[in-house]
Amino acid sequence: MGAYLNQANAYEPDFQNEFWGRNYPRLYEIKQKWDPNGIFIARKGVGSEDWANSFSYRSFSPAGVTRIKPPENTVGFRDTNGDGIGDLPGILSKLDYIKSLGVDAIWICPMYDSPQYDMGYDIANYEDVYAPYGTVADVEAIIAACHERGLRILLDLVINHTSYLHAWFGESRSSKSSSKRDWYIWRPAKYDVDGTRRPPNNWRSFFGGSAWEFDDETQEYYLHLFAVEQPDLNWENSETRKAIYDSAVTFWLDKGIDGFRVDTVNMYSKRSFANAPILDERLEWQPAHSLFCNGPRIHEFLHELGQILAKYDAMTVGELPHTPQIADVLSYVSTKEKQLSMVFQFNVVETGTGDPTFNTTPRNWTLPDFRKRIAQTQELVPTDGWSTSFLENHDQARSISRFGNEETPEYWALSAKMLAILVTTLSGTVYIYQGQEIGMVNFPLEWNIEEYKDVNSINYYKFIQDSTKNDPTAVKRAKEALAHLARDHPRIPMQWDGTANAGFTTESAKPWMRVHDNYPTLNVEKQQSDSKSVLAFWQEALRVRKSFPKVFAHGVFSDTDPSNESLLIFEKIGDGQKLLVLLNFTTETKPIDIGKRLGGKPRKAVLRNYEDEPLDFLRALEGRAYLLDN
């Protein structure tokens, strides 16, 4: 499966509560409207003519999206036919469970026809389904069942590239004179003085090696920012764009889906094809995101796409890497731009990663850096744009293993609940990844390297082996980094119960990926019968968040102690309310005058992961949230 959201109760009510937000420089003065039940309906930037009623605000309250992903996680969500691979009927069978979490939407990652070199993000046919997952009719059944339950459904929109097996690419590579030649990005080779053939530039693929692949048939290179099997589409060609819109977008909107998560949304317009700056002279291929992200026509393309989406009132959440400046992010999500409803910023989840991602050591981060990144994502709140709150997805290792502590069962539970408090008290739309709601963790360092299936993990490990001639120290460091950050961790089977294979598939089947060893004690069934479980805590946190949307989802964020290396303490202000959040990221008791922060008045936390509330310290991995009058 994948991720989970939250839905509003009304669509066109009379507006009864109108107020002006804080006065910020630039366009940060915001007018907001609420329905009588306190559900946020619209935002308006100063100077804009119309109320913004985009799908993300009007049809979704910002409490939470649930993420379901087939390739990694239909593949890993639930298998109903005993072949060891998760499938669409498996999602259908668990919609009541998803609804019980308190979310309003699900997001299914690519279930399209694909050779699966990159877990379905290499699409061979946008209008068909990968056979082991099911059929188009199965998707239609999920759409209908979601709507019957008051859930919305998002699909993954992967349109920067296709599979090399897509019919479009087959035609494009058939001949230089093909009518679809220009549907992809082709360039002639370069040659050294001695006649050695070289790629057009020194760009490095996200998965390692050159971003160009030579085609023997037509004697030119094609661009692939990701795997060799994922050639980049040429968005400069208007005929290509129309085909994308017809096949990948309207085909599914016409079937009733409610929106898309848009993959690599800022890579469609390339700035130039010059060589990337040399950041590491030891390496032949260099990171080039400054040349292929946020190009000159990207907003033109997204506005064009947005006009189609608007006809269906469709919600979008774009994946926006390598865009650290808030002004640049706002150019994608400002309501007046009419492009995207919201985006995933990578500031927080890239904490402690290297360049490339695995060139680091486990837990290589500090709390001041982590909190600074959180604050950056919250800068969107007082604008006419919108933000997201998440710590996990199909590309990120488990948050407890990265930012919490799993040394003991007690620390594990405290960490899971403390991080749930963090995610649900930040402004924006909350995204919960499958298994996060029960506290799933990374699989152990001791697992053999053969257990890793992701192309990025495999390529990096092989690169280290080859480039260091199997140096034991370097290989060990690479394995430790994978055990901490690999995309494989969120893709192992969902843990439903304590039976063999964790209830993911039949007891006699072989799951497509190894089930975590801890499934007998960490599973949905066990937690459903425990009122103090991580699952119950997530349900309560989402309920509380939904009860106070003006401050939980829309409050303006302020970090009260940015340099503190142990405690993350922040406040949120929203329409006469204040939310005080206190989180201890250490396993030590830390002194703090909580009574003073509460104004000397007795208060009870609306969220807490300990039974009692002493006012002069926070215990190991303790988290609390207090709702105050402002």
In a domain, 536, yes or no: no
Residues 196 and 253 in one domain: no
In a domain, 231, yes or no: no
What are 461's two structure tokens? 């490990």
Q: Give me the pLDDT at residue 4, please.
A: 64
Can you tell me the distance from the alpha carbon of 445 to that of 346, in angstroms, rounded to the nearest whole number? 25
Which is higher by pLDDT, 42 or 350?
A: 350
In a domain, 304, yes or no: yes
The answer to whether residues 455 and 89 touch, using CB atoms and an 8 Å cutoff, is: no
Residues 410 and 422 in one domain: yes
In a domain, 306, yes or no: yes
Q: What percent of the chain stands above pLDDT 90?
A: 87
pLDDT digits (tens, 9 = 90+) for 331-381: 999 999 999 999 999 999 999 999 899 999 999 999 999 999 999 999 999
Q: Please, what's the b/e burial string for 463-495 (b: 16 or more CB within 10 A of its CB; e: otherwise)?
A: bbeeeeeeeeeeeebbbebbbbbbbbbbbbbbb
Active-site choice (118, 138, 232, 319) = 319
The answer to whether residues 460 and 416 touch, using CB atoms and an 8 Å cutoff, is: no
Q: What percent of the chain stands above pLDDT 70?
A: 89
- The yes-or-no verdict on residue 495 having pLDDT over 90 is yes
What residues have CB less than 8 Å from 559, skipping those under 6 apart? Answer: 371, 374, 375, 568, 569, 570
Helix (H) / strand (E) element for 429: namely strand 429-433
What are 379's two structure tokens? 């800068």
Residues 430 and 452 in one domain: no
pLDDT digits (tens, 9 = 90+) for 585-607: 999 999 999 999 999 888 999 99
The answer to whether residues 478 and 468 touch, using CB atoms and an 8 Å cutoff, is: no
Mean residue pLDDT of the chain comes to 90
Backbone angles phi, psi at 57, to 5 degrees: -95, -40
The answer to whether residues 377 and 417 touch, using CB atoms and an 8 Å cutoff, is: no
What residues have CB less than 8 Å from 534, skipping those under 6 apart? Answer: 413, 416, 417, 420, 437, 438, 439, 527
Q: How confident is the model at residue 630 (pLDDT cuts 50, 70, 90)?
A: confident
Average pLDDT over residues 153-162: 98
Adjacent-strand bridge partners of 626: 580
In a domain, 611, yes or no: yes
Phi-psi region at 487: left, alpha or beta (left = phi > 0; alpha = psi -120 to 50): alpha
Can you tell me the distance from the alpha carbon of 81 to that of 509, in angstroms, rounded to the nearest whole number? 10
Q: Please, what's the b/e burial string for 180-217 (b: 16 or more CB within 10 A of its CB; e: otherwise)?
A: bbebbbbeeeeeeeeeeeebbbbbbbbbbbbbbbeeee
Residues 578 and 475 in one domain: no
Q: Give me the pLDDT at residue 75, please.
A: 85
- The yes-or-no verdict on residue 69 having pLDDT over 80 is no
CA distances from 124 to 159, 186, 291 (A): 12, 19, 27
Can you tell me the distance from the alpha carbon of 397 to that of 404, in angstroms, rounded to the nearest whole number? 12
629 is catalytic: no
pLDDT digits (tens, 9 = 90+) for 177-221: 999 999 999 999 999 999 999 999 999 999 999 999 999 999 999
pLDDT digits (tens, 9 = 90+) for 240-290: 999 999 999 999 999 999 999 999 999 999 999 999 999 999 999 999 999
Active-site choice (122, 156, 213, 263) = 263
Q: Give me the pLDDT at residue 9, please.
A: 31
The answer to whether residues 109 and 68 touch, using CB atoms and an 8 Å cutoff, is: yes
Can you tell me the distance from the alpha carbon of 480 to that of 507, in angstroms, rounded to the nearest whole number? 31
- The yes-or-no verdict on residue 17 having pLDDT over 70 is no
Indicate the pairing of strand 112-113 with strand 40-45: unpaired
For residue 566, the domain's CATH number is: 2.60.40.1180
Q: Give me the pLDDT at residue 2, please.
A: 61
Residues 428 and 453 in one domain: no
Q: Give me the pLDDT at residue 1, please.
A: 59
263 is catalytic: yes
Question: What is the distance in angstroms between the CA of the first residue and the CA of the last residue of the chain?
Answer: 40
Residues 401 and 434 in one domain: yes
For residue 88, the domain's CATH number is: 3.20.20.80
Residues 434 and 294 in one domain: yes
What residues have CB less than 8 Å from 531, skipping those under 6 apart? Answer: none
- The yes-or-no verdict on residue 34 having pLDDT over 50 is no
Residues 180 and 51 in one domain: no
- The yes-or-no verdict on residue 37 having pLDDT over 90 is no
Residues 24 and 173 in one domain: no
The answer to whether residues 72 and 119 touch, using CB atoms and an 8 Å cutoff, is: yes
Q: What is the domain range of residue 458? A: 446-487
In a domain, 543, yes or no: no
The answer to whether residues 222 and 212 touch, using CB atoms and an 8 Å cutoff, is: yes
Residue with tokens 């308006």: 44
Can you tell me the distance from the alpha carbon of 367 to that of 379, in angstroms, rounded to the nearest whole number? 19
Q: Give me the pLDDT at residue 74, please.
A: 72
The answer to whether residues 431 and 388 touch, using CB atoms and an 8 Å cutoff, is: yes
Can you tell me the distance from the alpha carbon of 42 to that of 14, in angstroms, rounded to the nearest whole number? 12
Last residue of some domain: 467, 502, 524?
A: 524
How many Cβ atoms from other residues are within 10 Å of residue 160's Cβ?
A: 22
Residues 423 and 457 in one domain: no
- The yes-or-no verdict on residue 526 having pLDDT over 60 is yes
- The yes-or-no verdict on residue 14 having pLDDT over 80 is no
Closest alpha carbon to 128 in 115, 117, 118: 115
Can you tell me the distance from the alpha carbon of 493 to that of 495, in angstroms, rounded to the nearest whole number? 6
Q: Out of 72-86, 314-328, 542-556, 568-582, pick the least confident.
A: 72-86
pLDDT digits (tens, 9 = 90+) for 90-141: 999 999 999 999 999 999 999 999 999 999 999 999 999 999 999 999 999 9
For residue 195, the domain's CATH number is: 3.90.400.10
Give me the number of domains the chain comprises: 4
The answer to whether residues 224 and 213 touch, using CB atoms and an 8 Å cutoff, is: yes
Residue with tokens 């302020």: 558
Residues 94 and 183 in one domain: no
pLDDT digits (tens, 9 = 90+) for 414-453: 999 999 999 999 999 999 999 999 999 999 999 999 999 9
- The yes-or-no verdict on residue 545 having pLDDT over 80 is yes
Backbone angles phi, psi at 149, to 5 degrees: -95, 5
The answer to whether residues 592 and 618 touch, using CB atoms and an 8 Å cutoff, is: yes
Closest alpha carbon to 71 in 515, 514, 513: 513
- The yes-or-no verdict on residue 33 having pLDDT over 70 is no
In a domain, 278, yes or no: yes
Residues 48 and 125 in one domain: yes
In a domain, 228, yes or no: no
Q: Give me the pLDDT at residue 3, please.
A: 72
